[in-house]
Amino acid sequence: MSPRRWWALALALVVLGGVLQGLTWRARSAPASGDRALTDAETTDVVLGQVSDGLTRVFTYTPANTAGTQQAAAEVLDGEALGQYQSLFGQVRQQAPGQGLTLTTRVSRAGVVRLSGDTAQVLVFLDQTIGRKDQPRPSYAAAQLSVTARLEHGQWRIVQIHSR
């Protein structure tokens, strides 16, 4: 092989190496590389447990225990989610005793969509049972929520809730 071909081959290998190194850097610095939803099973399990427990607590009440539900909301909600909840729950607190409203909520499925730093995006499916004293049978509903949770002092607090 002639020296000219060696130089051409060497130059091609250097260029190829540079391109590959650039692609590797780009892949590692992409926003998705900070997403630990699929790689950090332990944290994902904690997020799912705390968010699911929190939603169950704040969306379950009886006419006799609206104060307990409000206390649960103060413990697990923050920011926009707490403001929305307080606004809506004010109406419930007024109507629940007179109508005998009972709401039981169970998380049927939940999954962490994105986990980055101290923030998690969670998709949650709820099954709800709604009872009223003037209705002999309860009614049933399903809900789908997009939840944003933030880690604060070791606790995942729900800061945004959007129905889907």
The pLDDT confidence band at residue 121, using thresholds 50, 70 and 90, is very high
pLDDT over 80 (residue 74): yes
pLDDT over 70 (residue 13): no
**Bigger pLDDT: 146 or 96?**
146
Least confident range of 7-21, 27-41, 67-81: 7-21
Least confident range of 59-63, 97-101, 148-152: 97-101
What average pLDDT does this structure show over 83-88?
89
Burial of residue 73, with CB atoms counted within 10 A of its CB: 0-12 exposed, 13-18 middle, 19 or more buried: buried
Is the CATH number of domain 35-163 3.40.190.170? Answer: no
| Mean pLDDT, rounded, of the chain | 85
Instruction: Quickly count: other Cβ atoms within 10 Å of residue 34's Cβ.
Output: 12
pLDDT, residue 90, reads 81
Helices 66-76, 79-99: crossing angle, 10 deg rounding? 170
Reported as a single tens digit per residue, the pLDDT across 16-32 is 666 667 666 665 555 55
Domain locations in the chain as residue ranges: 1-34, 35-163
Burial of residue 93, with CB atoms counted within 10 A of its CB: 0-12 exposed, 13-18 middle, 19 or more buried: middle
pLDDT over 60 (residue 131): yes
Burial of residue 116, with CB atoms counted within 10 A of its CB: 0-12 exposed, 13-18 middle, 19 or more buried: middle
Least confident range of 14-28, 51-65, 115-129: 14-28
pLDDT over 70 (residue 14): no
The pLDDT confidence band at residue 164, using thresholds 50, 70 and 90, is confident
Mapping DSSP onto H, E and C, the string for 67-116 reads HHHHHHHHHHECHHHHHHHHHHHHHHHHHHHHHCCEEEEEEEEEEEEEEE
pLDDT, residue 12, reads 64
Q: Please tell me what DSSP assigns to residue 162.
A: E
